[in-house]
Amino acid sequence: MAAQNGKDLLIKVDLSGAGQFETMVGLRASRISFNAEPVDVTSLESAGGWRELLGGAGVKSAAISGAGIFKDDSTDERARQIFFDGEVPNFQVIIPDFGTVEGPFQVTSLEYAGSHDGEATYELSLASAGALTFVAL
């Protein structure tokens, strides 16, 4: 895989619940991480005392985070609505030359900041709230 532009990693939110995804406006940095909790099945019979893990078991999760400038666009408004209403809508993450991840996420953190000599900024964090799908490019 060749080097990719960071700006091509996009976080999109379903604006209406009808599958109408729009890129979160103003983001300057974004990240997605995938996690799986291991299930340890090590016993006295484990070869050489090495830890053994049960394949396919455990809880899988994903986390999305982003930071950018506040634009007060439809996606900013939607993010606020999702947080204050406690919604769990679908999001999409476009990973360049890799694929698209889609599924329900909860906004777990929404922060706004600003200084007297700079622009207003925001940061958001999302946690997966159900099964995710992946479509390779």
Residue 103's pLDDT is 97
- Cα dihedral 78/84/88/93 (nearest 10): 40
Show the tokens assigned to 18: 């009808």
Answer yes or no: are the C-beta atoms of 101 and 84 closer than 8 Å. Answer: no
- Confidence class for position 75, pLDDT limits 50, 70, 90: confident
- Confidence class for position 72, pLDDT limits 50, 70, 90: confident
User: Residue 3: which residues within 8 A CB-CB, separation 6 or more?
Assistant: none
Q: Which domains does the chain have, with CATH numbers?
A: 10-40+48-136 (2.30.110.20)
Residue 1's pLDDT is 63
User: Residue 48: which residues within 8 A CB-CB, separation 6 or more?
Assistant: none
